[in-house]
Structure 1
Amino acid sequence: MKERPKHRFANLPEGGENPLNYAVTQRDRSTLAMVTDAIAHKQTLLAYQPVMRNVADDKVAFYEGLIRVLDPTGRVIPAREFMPVVEDTQLGREIDVLALRAGLMALADNPDLRLSINMSARSIGYKGWTTMLNRWLNRDATIGERLILEISEQSAMQVPELVANFMEQLQSRSICFALDNFGSGYTAIRYFKDLYFDILKLDGQFIRGISRNPDNRALVSVMLSIAENFDMITVAEQVENEEDSRLLTSMGVDCQQGFLFGSPTTRPYWTVNTQERKKMTGFLA
């Protein structure tokens, strides 16, 4: 009788029996290592994107600060390439702290700036995050009046009662809240009466190409009705062309954000000299 061969995967590393799983595992490990190294060496920064209040007049309502990390070569890495891997880890909380710190510093240095910063429900109650926020608010009360905290729909609905209590505490300090990526998850509308979001950001999957998609127009109309009933300002995300922009304005969307108005930049107008500012029309509101 022939000797049975040893299992052909016996000496493969974890996940190696499936090439796809192995590749994903190695990628995630590499991403975690990159983010860990970036945090340790303070290689993080914000990229700023305008949210337009009046599209026709190039009026900016506020800017969104988007966290970025630098890889070992100095390349700027957007959040979409690392947040899905780190968001449920301790690194995710540390990233939230660094984003908040950078945003608060920008607000302190620029009294006319209004800025939104992304956070996750995972950071509620996290000592490093709350200590950072309270320190800056106690130093300058006007920061709270100009700060918007964005929480994604998916994150908010994981612990809605905790989010509601958190919002109630901070709204007394004039901080606004935005529900990000609305429509991408399964929001329980019944929580809206308890959460008191000031801003509803409509997920980009319903906005891109809306002028050619009647189904998305119908869905966005429903979202706008919800926002109106709960007295929330609406922001359409990922607006990329004039045709979509005009339609959204006619539908009653309050603000728009997307590449049509400017891509995220790590060198916003308030960091450049006067001569350069004059060239950056649309960013001088």
Structure 2
Amino acid sequence: AGLAAAAGGAAAAVRLRMGAATAPQHADDAETLMRNANLAFDEARRLSGSGFVFYGPQLAATMTTRRATADGIDILAALNERRIVPARQAIVDAVTRQPAFHEALLRLRLPDGGEAGAARLVPAAEKAGLIEAVDHRMLELIAARMMGEPGLRIALNISPRTLASRAWLGNLAAQLGACPGVAERLIIEITETAAVEDPGATRASLDAMKALGVFIAIDDFGAGHTSFRHLRHFPIDLLKIDGAFVQNLARSSDDRFFVRTLVDLAQHLGIATVAEWVEDEDTARLLTQWGVDYLQGEHIAPVTAWPEPAGLAVERARERARSA
């Protein structure tokens, strides 16, 4: 039954739905507590009338199962069945055109034999609340591959949610400890938006990662609102210029001015630059003239599969055989 309220002389029916979680029973930090309360509220919204839903273990299991599938992708099944795999794309020295490092790109092997990329998988994982698990899995996979290819440098994207997670730094430290020689060849990429959401927390996280020996890059730079002050105080090794500006250089004087300004800014700060989405040779030459350090794009180097090292592939086959 709804509550009756008088509004301009007419009665209006009001439904009240509430969700709640309590600390420390359901969480010991504000972020998790709010997430659990929101889960309870999401369930309350499914009620036909007014109602109150209190977070609890049964609700957590129900919501996890329901939210695990998004955009037709069962994220939990993909994780459990090891169908999330990395591909890679070379990023080359702008002058020599020789590969300087690679970016690890997220791929999902679908049950029907097809493949989905990050554009489909990341939103689905975020909607399912499992993007942190996906990022942790990607770290595990590329660390194992880097151990099999000494000298290979890899850049790995992590989501804003992962960057803010308490578990990320501990897992990163554990992976690097188990894989000697990987830290100094690993570049962690964060988005510009994530960098400015909470500058203080971002600086603390970046400092902690730098202390582990990894390099830090800001991805899609120019798309957000990083101020000069923030950029100057973040321990950044690499700026990746948003490809939305790079791909239009031949047609847009505004984009040419903007990209050149970003390159000049990075040079002033002593930060190396990568231009993304380089799609033709004229653009590549222009960027090189301006002093961009590295180029990335299909014109420069296509995305390629990244097979497992032989020993790891054999172990995976044994695991599948044991579980069959």
TM-score by length of 1: 0.78
Q: 1:257 Cα deviation (Å)?
A: 0.2
Q: 1:32 Cα deviation (Å)?
A: 6.1
Amino acid at match of 1:189: F
Q: 2:206 aligns with which of 141, 144, 167?
A: 167
Whole-Å Cα distance in 1 between the matches of residues 251 and 286 of structure 2?
10
Q: Which residue of 1 aligns with 2:295?
A: 256
Question: Which of 173-182 and 77-86 deviates more?
Answer: 77-86
Q: Which has the larger radius of gyration?
A: 2
Q: Which residue of 2 aligns with 1:74?
A: 113
Q: Which residue of 1 aligns with 2:226?
A: 187
1:37 paired to 2:55: no
Whole-Å Cα distance in 1 between the matches of residues 195 and 187 of structure 2?
15
1:122 paired to 2:165: no
User: For the Cα contact (< 8 Å) 2:276–2:297, is it kept in 1?
Assistant: yes
Identity fraction in percent: 29
User: For the Cα contact (< 8 Å) 2:143–2:179, is it kept in 1?
Assistant: no
Q: Which residue of 2 aligns with 1:217?
A: 256
Going by fraction, where is strand more abundant, 1 or 2?
2
TM-score by length of 2: 0.69
Q: 1:132 aligns with which of 155, 171, 174?
A: 171
Write the mapping of 1:47-58 to structure 2, written as runs, cut at 5 A: 47-55=87-95, 57-58=96-97
Question: Cα–Cα, structure 1 residues 269 and 108, in superposed 2: closer, same or farther, change >3 Å?
Answer: closer
Whole-Å Cα distance in 1 between the matches of residues 209 and 272 of structure 2?
19
Whole-Å Cα distance in 2 between the matches of residues 100 and 153 of structure 1?
20
Amino acid at match of 1:232: I
Q: Which residue of 2 aligns with 1:109?
A: 148
User: For the Cα contact (< 8 Å) 2:183–2:212, is it kept in 1?
Assistant: yes
Whole-Å Cα distance in 1 between the matches of residues 97 and 308 of structure 2?
14
Instruction: Give 3-state SS (helix, strand or coil) of 1:149's partner.
Output: strand
> What is the aligned residue count?
244
Q: Which residue of 1 aligns with 2:277?
A: 238
Residues 123-179 of structure 1: CA deviation (Å, up to 9, x unaligned): 236465434322232234421110000001112222221121111122123210000
Whole-Å Cα distance in 2 between the matches of residues 32 and 73 of structure 1?
12
Q: 1:96 aligns with which of 121, 128, 135?
A: 135
Instruction: Give 3-state SS (helix, strand or coil) of 1:235's partner.
Output: strand
User: For the Cα contact (< 8 Å) 2:203–2:234, is it kept in 1?
Assistant: yes
Amino acid at match of 2:87: A
Give 4+ residue runs of structure 1 displaced > 3 Å after superposition: 124-132, 267-271
Whole-Å Cα distance in 2 between the matches of residues 188 and 270 of structure 1?
42
User: For the Cα contact (< 8 Å) 1:35–1:69, is it kept in 2?
Assistant: no
Question: Cα–Cα, structure 1 residues 138 and 101, in superposed 2: closer, same or farther, change >3 Å?
Answer: same
Instruction: Give 3-state SS (helix, strand or coil) of 1:250's partner.
Output: helix
Q: Which residue of 2 aligns with 1:65?
A: 104
Instruction: Give 3-state SS (helix, strand or coil) of 1:148's partner.
Output: strand
Amino acid at match of 2:156: I
Whole-Å Cα distance in 2 between the matches of residues 112 and 102 of structure 1?
17
Structure with the bigger RCO (C-alpha within 8 Å, sep 6+) is 1
Question: Cα–Cα, structure 1 residues 140 and 38, in superposed 2: closer, same or farther, change >3 Å?
Answer: closer
User: For the Cα contact (< 8 Å) 1:32–1:86, is it kept in 2?
Assistant: no
Q: 1:38 Cα deviation (Å)?
A: 1.2
Q: 1:106 Cα deviation (Å)?
A: 1.5
Write the mapping of 1:265-284 to structure 2, written as runs, cut at 5 A: 265-267=304-306
